[in-house]
Amino acid sequence: MLLNKNKMTEIVKNYNFSNLSKLIGKSKKARQLVDEAEKLFLRYGLEKVSVEEICQAAKVSKMTFYRYFQNKIHLFLFIINRIMDQAEKKYYQIMGQEVSYQEKARQIVQMKIKISQDFSYQMLQDYLNSPRPEIRNFIHQKTQNYFHLFLQDLQKAQKRGEIRENIKPEFILFIINRLADFVADEDLLQLYSSPKELTEEWINFFFFGILCPNPVNSSRDQKSKAPEASPNPRLSQPKNKTSLGKNRKQINLPKQ
C-alpha cells in the first residue's frame, strides 16, 4: 500500500501514530517489518541497527520500509509509542480492579519491571539517554503525560486514606520510576538468586520499610521458616483454668 509523500511527511512531523497504526494494520508486510524491528531494537538498541538489517530480518524491501517510515528514528519512536500505549492499557486494567491500592501499586511495579527486563542495556541507554533531540522531546512528552496520570491516582488514594498523609505523592512516583535502576544493577543482583527475588525484596521495602513484617512471601522466606520445637513439652502446654477451678470445688476440707 503506497502512501502519498506529502501525507507521509505530515504523519512523521506530527507523530500521528494513531493513523500510522491503522495503515500498518492493513499490511502484513508492514506488521512484519515493525515486529522484526522491535526485536532488533530491544536487543541491540537504536544506534547499532540499520535500515538494511531491519529489512533483511523482516524479508521486505527498502521501498516497503520507506512507504511507512521516513527513517529508523521514526520507526523507533513508533515502536516506543506502541510499547507505552500497551503499558497504559494495562495500567487502566489494573486501576479498574476492585482491590486495595496497595495491590494495584504492587501490580504496577511488577509491570514496570517486566517492561524494563524486555529492554537490553543498550536499548535502555538509547531510550533514556539519547543525544537525539527528537527522541528526547518525544519521550519527555509521553512520560509527562503518564506522570500526571499516575500522580492523580496517588493523590486520590491519599485522600481515601490508603496512603499516609505525611508523604508527598511526587516522592512516591520518583522512587517507582527509579525501579529499573535497581533491577539493572549487576552488583545488587548478585545478592539474590533471581530478579524475581530482588523484585519481592524491593516491593516489601517500598511498602513496609524495615520495621514491619513482609506480606510477600519469597521462596527464601519459606525455606527459612521451620516449626520451632519446644524445649519442654510440659512447660509449653497451656493451663486449663476452667478445669482447675472445677477441681478446687471438688476438694472437701476436713471439719474442725
194-246, pLDDT tens digit by residue? 766 777 788 778 777 776 555 555 555 555 555 555 455 444 444 444 444 44
| Chain Cα centroid distance, residue 225 | 29
Q: Is residue 66 part of a domain?
A: yes
- Domain count for the chain, please give it: 1
- Asked whether residue 220 is assigned to any structural domain, the reply reads no
Inside any domain, residue 64: yes
Domain assignment present for 234: no
Q: Does the pLDDT value for residue 28 go beyond 70?
A: yes
d(CA 241, CA 61): 88
**Cα separation, 68 vs 26, whole angstroms:** 12
Residues 132-185: tens digit of each pLDDT: 888 888 888 887 888 888 889 889 989 999 888 888 989 988 887 777 677 667
CB-CB contact of 36 with 25 (8 Å): no
Across the chain, mean pLDDT equals: 77
CATH number reported for the structural domain that contains residue 15 in this entry: 1.10.357.10
Would residue 11 count as lying in a domain? yes
pLDDT reported for residue 243: 43
- Helices (H), strands (E): how many in the chain? 16, 0
Q: Is residue 180 part of a domain?
A: yes
pLDDT digits (tens, 9 = 90+) for 76-93: 999 989 988 898 899 999
d(CA 92, CA 119): 22
**Confidence at residue 241, expressed as pLDDT on a 0 to 100 scale:** 45
- Determine the structural domain holding residue 117 and report its residue range: 5-214
Q: Is 52 a domain residue?
A: yes
Residue 170 lies in a domain: yes
Residue 101 grid cell: 491500592
In whole angstroms, what is the distance from residue 209 CA to residue 40 CA? 39
Query: Which pLDDT score is estimated for 146?
Result: 81
